[in-house]
Amino acid sequence: WRPRGFEGDEAFFLPEKRPWGREVHGGLPICWPWFGKAGTPKHGLVRYLRWEYLHHVGKDRVVLRTRSTEATRKLWPHDFELTAEIALTGPNELQLALTERNTGTDAFESECGIHPYFRVADAERIGFGGEALPKPWGIREWKATSPKCALVDLVKGRRLEVACSDAARFLIWNPGVERTPLCEGLEADDWKRFYCLEAVSPRRSLAPGGSRTVRFTLSLVNH
């Protein structure tokens, strides 16, 4: 994603080493049917699965799909289908609509979230809530009181917003110098070049044959 306000640069950080099929620390990971350490593997199943291309809608919208397999059933004994509709809805806006479907015979509980790695000039110069953040030190989480949240790249003057149509909580995260060695694929100083602003929906039950959609909007606003 190259918003106009990024002057040709990609909005998402991606490390040089990308261990596809394992936990990639970069891009726009999708977390489903759980977020964090609520299950194994961390951040759910689909972050580690292959997606198949379904079709385009016009020139600025694409639809992808992933589904349950024998391997996923060993980790989570349910059948599902998840589609991701990704759209450029403006020069500085990206929308992601995630639709989950229960294709099995039993109800299951799920939540979905996104874990974008926003590219920043200096992770030690980030603003949040009207104040400059201290040096990166890990994760901070809070209950959603509005549908969107934002952080500011103080060097570039970029306000990065994440909105969720069904937000339960938001998180910000950076591993910092101490935890970066624990993150597979990251070089020692990669932590300086990104900051994560994450959104998660509530955990709810989904009946057999049921479906639901959560929409996320990522925006760049000149600060």
pLDDT mean across residues, the chain: 93
pLDDT bin (cut points 50, 70, 90) of residue 7 is confident
Element (H, E) at 70: helix 70-75
- Tens digit of each residue's pLDDT (9 = 90 or more) over 73-131: 999 999 999 999 999 999 999 999 999 999 999 999 999 999 999 999 999 999 988 78
Q: How many residues does the chain have?
A: 223
What pLDDT, on a 0 to 100 scale, did the predictor assign at position 115?
96
Instruction: State both tokens at 187.
Output: 């070089």
pLDDT at 19 over 90: no
pLDDT bin (cut points 50, 70, 90) of residue 18 is confident
- Tens digit of each residue's pLDDT (9 = 90 or more) over 123-151: 999 998 878 887 777 888 989 899 999 99
Residues with Cβ < 8 Å from 68, sequence gap 6 or more?
Answer: 78, 79, 80, 81, 103, 104
Mean pLDDT for the stretch of residues 20-25: 80
- Tens digit of each residue's pLDDT (9 = 90 or more) over 175-204: 999 899 988 889 999 999 999 999 999 999
Q: Give one DSSP letter per residue of 124-178, joined into a string.
A: TSEEETTEE--S--EEEEEE-SSSEEEEEETTTTEEEEEEETT-SEEEEEE-HHH
Mean pLDDT for the stretch of residues 36-42: 90
> From CA 220, how far away is CA 223, in angstroms rounded?
9
Q: Give CA 127 to chain center in angstroms.
A: 20
Instruction: State both tokens at 25.
Output: 């620390």
